């Protein structure tokens, strides 16, 4: 009798207010490799984060409701959520980007436009898979 191994997919929440970017990220990551969730603004991102507790939050900096920095601060100050990895997305150049990432407790950032290989490499580096 064969034993089936249940593989737990890593959960990723994509919080991006632009539909086409959110869809492109989802397609580039592949639904076979990850359990993907989507949010259209910062408030929805926090709600889904609290319910799903993703392994990684791909978080746009400029969003309606709450911006990415506010979302990240809220998550990192919550003992039940602070373990969640955060990858910032930004269309703007961030002066001293490394310092900003560290200040908010994020893992890394990507500037838009970004390539699929670059996105996948950062996700793999953060999640270790």
Q: How far apart are the two ends of the chain, measured CA to CA in Å?
A: 30
> Does residue 30 surpass a pLDDT of 90?
no
> Does residue 29 surpass a pLDDT of 60?
yes
**How sure is the predictor about 5, in pLDDT bands with cuts at 50, 70 and 90?**
low
**How sure is the predictor about 33, in pLDDT bands with cuts at 50, 70 and 90?**
confident
Domains defined for the chain, CATH in brackets: 10-127 (3.40.50.2300)
Mean of pLDDT over the chain: 90
Give the pTM.
Answer: 0.90
Q: Is 21 helix (H, G, I), strand (E, B) or coil?
A: helix
Long-range contacts of 36-45 (CB under 8 A, 24+ apart): 36/12, 37/11, 37/12, 37/13, 38/13, 38/14, 39/13, 39/14, 39/15, 40/16, 41/15, 41/17, 41/65, 41/66, 42/15, 42/66, 42/67, 42/68, 42/70, 42/71, 44/15, 45/13, 45/15, 45/71
Cα gap 63→88, rounded to integer Å: 12
pLDDT in tens, 41-90: 999 999 999 999 999 999 999 999 999 999 999 999 999 999 999 999 98
Report which of residues 92 and 78 the model is more confident about.
78
> Does residue 95 surpass a pLDDT of 80?
no
Cα gap 115→35, rounded to integer Å: 21
């Amino acid at each position: 009798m064969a034993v089936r191994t249940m593989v737990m997919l890593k959960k990723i929440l994509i919080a991006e207010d632009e539909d086409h970017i959110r869809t492109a990220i989802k397609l580039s990551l592949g639904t076979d490799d990850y359990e993907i969730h989507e949010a259209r603004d910062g408030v929805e991102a926090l709600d889904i984060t609290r319910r799903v507790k993703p392994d990684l939050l791909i978080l746009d900096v400029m969003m309606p409701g709450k911006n990415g920095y506010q979302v990240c601060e809220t998550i990192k100050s919550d003992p039940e959520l602070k373990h969640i990895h955060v990858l910032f997305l930004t269309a703007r150049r961030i002066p001293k980007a490394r310092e900003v990432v560290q200040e908010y407790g994020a893992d890394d950032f990507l500037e838009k436009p970004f390539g699929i290989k670059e996105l996948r490499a950062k996700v793999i580096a953060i999640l270790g898979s």
